[in-house]
Amino acid sequence: MKEYASRGVCLATLGSMTQALRAQTALTNAAIRAEVVKADSARTKRGCAYAVAFSCSQQENVQQILKSAGIRVREYYEGDSV
């Protein structure tokens, strides 16, 4: 995750590991670096969840790609640290 530190880390919270892996694949296919991480359960309010971490500079692109891929994102937010 350190490669994101200088640009800011954003996260897209998803409901399952399968969805997170699908999101990572869609983003990788679009040449956007993404990493699957365990989301903070205090933040998700639904217990265990996974997220895809990516550079905040790519947020608009990420939202468009995931929407086009039919991947439902629970929440987008900027992470303090991952």
Instruction: Give the domains, in start order, of the chain with CATH numbers.
Output: 2-79 (3.30.70.2750)
pLDDT in tens, 33-69: 999 999 876 666 666 789 999 999 999 999 999 999 9
Residue entry with tokens 């694949």: 25
* 3-class DSSP assignment, residue 81: coil
pLDDT attached to residue 40: 75
Smallest CA-to-CA distance from 47 within 6, 13, 8 is with 13
Please determine, for residue 74, whether its predicted confidence score (pLDDT) is greater than 50. yes
pLDDT attached to residue 47: 67
Smallest CA-to-CA distance from 62 within 17, 24, 6, 36 is with 24
pLDDT attached to residue 79: 80
pLDDT in tens, 46-55: 667 899 999 9
